[in-house]
Amino acid sequence: MSPPLSRRALLQAATLAAAAPAASYAASGRAVAAVPGMPSAAAPTTWSVRPFGLEDVTLGRGVFADKRQLMLDHARGYDVNRLVQVFRANAGLPTGGAVAPGGWEGLDGEANGNLRGHYTGHFLTMLAQAYRGTKEQVFADKIRTMVGALTEVREALRRDPVVLSSEGKFGRAAENVRGSYQYVDLPAAVLGGASAITLSAWVKPTHDANWTRIFDFGNDTTRYMYLAARNQSGVPRFAITTSGPGGEQGLNGTAPLPVNRWSHVAVTIAGGTGTLYVNGTAVARNASMTLTPAALGTPRNNWLGRSNFSADPVFAGAFDEFNVFSRALTAAEVGELQGRRAAEASTGRGDLASYAFDETSGGTFADASGRALTATLRRTWGGPSHPGFLAAYPETQFIQLESMTSGDYTKVWAPYYTAHKILRGLLDAHLALDDARALDLASGMCDWMYSRLSKLPDATLQRMWGIFSSGELGGIVEAICDLHTISGKAEHLALAKLFDLDRLIDSCAANTDILDGLHANQHIPIFTGYLRLYDATGETRYLTAAKNFWGMVVPHRMYGIGGTSTQEFWKARGVIAGTISATTAETCCAYNMLKLSRTLFFHDQDPKYMEYYERALYNQVLGSKQDKPDAEKPLVTYFIGLTPGHVRDYTPKQGTTCCEGTGMESATKYQDSVYFAKADGSALYVNLYSPSTLTWAEKGVTVTQTTDFPKEQGSTLTFGGGRASFALRLRVPSWATAGFRVTVNGDSVPGTPKPGSYFSVSRTWRAGDTVRITMPFRLRVEKALDDPSLQTLFYGPVNLVARNAATEYLKVGLYRNAGLSGDLLPSFTPVSGKPLHYTLDGTEWAPFFEGTEDPTHAYFRRSEPKVVLGGRDSGVANPAKADGTTLLDEIWAGAPFSGKGTLVTRVRSTVDAWVSAGLLSRADGDKVVNTAQAASYAP
């Protein structure tokens, strides 16, 4: 293989912009094979197995279908106009009264809504997956509504702002939608150097933010004259100064301007006296004013709705008349303006400036004063640097990131992460509906990103992607690579390479663990993208880094449910018990680890990847979704606390976080990894035992899996369609140590399935063929890596948790009635009518995947104070070695036992060794052996 291209070489190649790209799959000689489920309907040849599309696998009745139904109902009823509200606002378009979802997805969310737009992308993906899985028209209609709205938004962002006309006080009015960053720019001569003045305006605020300006005339934050709709006390304030805030001469109102109602405000200055009027009433007077507009000279910045202080919010609301007079109107004249337009009043129009805002199109406002001072509608941030830009906020976050040296999410909060969610949603919309508009929007976004990032030095890029939070980029590399398979544009592949974080890649490629202290979800999805870059470029460092990274997380930073991270970060390798908190296991991390695991499996069919997939899917992902309907929220966890007595919070931060977003996606793609096919069609992998029907069109067969797994300890596969020859590869879970058995049409299949492998059955399959898999469950414990006494309980694939309100770890003994197989289940009592529910010492144990609000104990403190065998108490204290291993631990480590005699032999040999080591007296040892001989045991 020729040496991989460097980033700079790729960028140089990209500038050629050939229609048949130099770096595309086809041009590089890396052939593609048709595969449903890829945005391009093609899979790279580096994948030795391939997924099926969501439309190829239908879920049957069971826990997955039940959870999905809750999310589908939420999606069916949700008004998607709410999701595009912030996009419309940013573009200055009418929002139709839609209310943004809130939380992170709104202007008032955490960090002032600096992540807004991300949830819209998640929702698009969810809708696309829902449509592919159900073909319900309602989902297609909602997708088309959103894509249409985003198309309008991009077009609006490309052009200069256009007036949004609304009903005014007297006629029409110019409205600035909240979040549009729009203001009215007046010509420099508007104040005319007047020493006496009246400024009169009709305004209708639509938000109660402090320090929004009705007008502000000045050069900077030293020389200015403004009228704020609300000051820090929430009342109108007029001020004029030539020496900054400390020199302000001002007037303060007495009551807030009402929101969503028209108010008339006027300021007069003459003869050293200033007066502030609200709705015709003088609410403030200052007779010691020495400054007039003449003192400002000719201000550079003459704005309606914008402040000379950049941190102040832009005015949200509508302007009707704005008049500037070169004299101080009398109280009577101001009062007259309450009932009629200035042109109809004795005052006449303002002689310095007069704007009626009756325009219904265009981006300028006529001046009726006779001075021809045409005003212009503008954005505070100007406009996008490239016509492909699409976001729910200005491009300023992306620009600021380029010069940041440390993170500050109140200023810049992961703009490329948000861009990824939007890009991913558009690609999924295109995949689901073949919507060319969605593809065009996605391609434009990548063209825009390339236009910015390709101009930056490598050092700047490395710094950006290493900044916590602000530089988080999500799975954008994967999405760009997926787009590249469609577009074939060299720039798109080059763009994906611009997100290389070399320190992370090189360390992981060298198998050097540097994860301690890193933000988990900032880094997990990067590696799925790097795998896709390996597919596109052949650079093996990407593949090696991704494999090694996965091994640094599993099991070294993995909790029993499959989750990872504490307070969103990783700690030292191998520290599990020492990191358990109320903010462990961020749900996004599990979502992205599942995606990484399945993508690794496409390259390397190591069963450990699907072992992890089953663990995290059946426990954390299922358990992150509450089991009740809700029209407003998806009801998905952010963190899953693993502390004793923790109650899951399914609506954190008002319900629009990253984890609610990925939770919506997870609940509409449960079937995506049940089956994979060998790339050459020679084998079908059954990875998960889930009720479902696969339609394998290439083979002309269907495979229907009938099971109530995990309530049922097995599954049945029934073949339909025509005849087809291939190997059926059935995953043998590592926990299936009690005997995994397979029959075909009732006949046993020879061979010994090995736990933690795939068992292959090869034949020519015919319609009606039936494969039965049985896999008896055992109850077992898993110990925390750094504290063996802290344990979690599993029954087959299912994590069982204690439902108990105690806030300290429960002390639990499990050996008392252990079976000869080593199964701990006989120590528990089944709960009648509730599969997978048991009691022990008065506490109920239930599957973690049940989305309830019960206080739970995922971990408990193992306590076996006495040697009890077969329910008989020997009266001997259970001794322990220095490492915590007890006598009972060593006895039961020999399980399974073929019979009672084998168990007794194990007890005797273990006792003899402990007596010889001085850890147990001979008398106590004899009591233990006698107890073992006298007891009876479950199988």
Lowest mean per-residue pLDDT among 6-15, 131-140, 468-477, 651-660: 6-15
* Per-residue confidence (pLDDT) for residue 35, from 0 to 100: 42
Residue that finishes a domain, picked among 346, 361, 379: 379
pLDDT on residue 42: 65
Instruction: Please report whether residue 362 resides in a domain.
Output: yes
Distance from chain centroid for Cα 258: 37
Cα–Cα distance for residue pair 91/492, rounded to 1 Å: 26
246/249 Cα distance (integer angstroms)? 9
Q: Among 379, 402, 424, which residue terminates a domain?
A: 379
Q: Per the structure, how many domains does the chain have?
A: 2
Residue 14 has pLDDT above 90, yes or no: no
Give the pair of three-digit tokens for residue 335: 């009062």
Across the range 302-318, mean pLDDT stands at 97
Q: What is the mean pLDDT of residues 584-606?
A: 98
Q: Quick check: is 580 in a domain?
A: no
Average pLDDT over residues 226-231: 98
Task: Kindly indicate the confidence band of residue 243, based on its pLDDT and cuts at 50, 70 and 90.
Answer: very high
**CA 497 to each of CA 17, 500, 530: distance values in angstroms, whole numbers, following the listed order:** 16, 6, 9
Return d(Cα 827, Cα 816) in angstroms, integer.
6
pLDDT averaged over every residue in the chain = 94
Could you give the CA distance from residue 335 to residue 563 in angstroms, rounded to a whole number?
67
As a whole number, mean pLDDT of residues 101-113 equals 89
Residue spans of alpha helices (H) in 639-750: 658-666
pLDDT-derived band at 5 (thresholds 50, 70, 90) equals very low
| Choice among 101-110, 321-330, 643-652 with the minimum mean pLDDT | 101-110
798/392 Cα distance (integer angstroms): 41
Tokens of 370: 């006779």
- Report if residue 572 sits inside a domain: no
Does the pLDDT value for residue 544 go beyond 80?
A: yes
DSSP string, 599-649: HHHHH---HHHHHHHHHHIIIIIHHTB-SS--SS---B-S----STTB---
Residue 112 lies in a domain: no
Tokens (6 digits) for 76: 């069916």
Boundary-marking domain end, from 338, 360, 379: 379
Distances 835 to 24, 183, 664, 712, 909 between C-alpha atoms, Å: 52, 63, 27, 9, 38
Side chain identity, residue 534: Y
The mean pLDDT of 282-303, rounded to a whole number, is 97
* Helices (H) then strands (E): counts for the chain: 22, 41
User: Looking at residue 409, what is its pLDDT?
Assistant: 94
pLDDT value of position 655: 82
Helix (H, G, I), strand (E, B) or coil at 444: helix
Phi, psi of 802 (to 5 degrees): -80, 135
pTM score: 0.94
Within-domain flag for 407: no
In this predicted structure, what is the pLDDT of residue 228?
98
Structure tokens at 579: 């990191």
Alpha carbons 382 and 410: distance in angstroms, whole number: 21
895 belongs to a structural domain: yes
Give the model confidence (pLDDT) of 914-936 as tens digits: 999 999 999 999 999 999 999 99
pLDDT at 30 over 60: no
Bridge-based pairing state of the strands 172-176 and 57-59: unpaired
Cβ-contact 100, 656 below 8 angstroms:
no
Q: Is the separation of the CB atoms in 5 and 13 below 8 Å?
A: yes
Helices (H), 78-180: 85-90, 118-134, 137-158
Distances (CA, A) of 269 to 55, 257, 478, 555: 71, 21, 62, 74
Map residue 774 onto helix, strand or coil: strand
Q: Judge whether 532 lies within some domain.
A: no
Alpha-carbon distances of 428 from 45, 67, 121, 423, rounded to whole Å: 22, 22, 10, 9
Q: Is residue 83 part of a domain?
A: no
Domain span at residue 872 reads 864-939
Could you give the dihedral angle defined by the CA atoms of residues 44, 49, 51 and 52, in that order, rounded to the nearest 10 degrees?
110
Q: What ranges make up the beta strands (E) of 107-212?
A: 164-167, 172-176, 182-185, 197-205
Tokens 């190591």 map to which residue? 606
- What contacts 311, CB < 8 A, 6 or more positions away? none
Chain segment 489-506, per-residue pLDDT in tens:
999 999 999 999 999 999
Q: Which two tokens stand for residue 303?
A: 């704005």
Report residue 26's pLDDT band, with 50, 70 and 90 as the boundaries.
Answer: very low
CATH of the domain at 343: 2.60.120.200
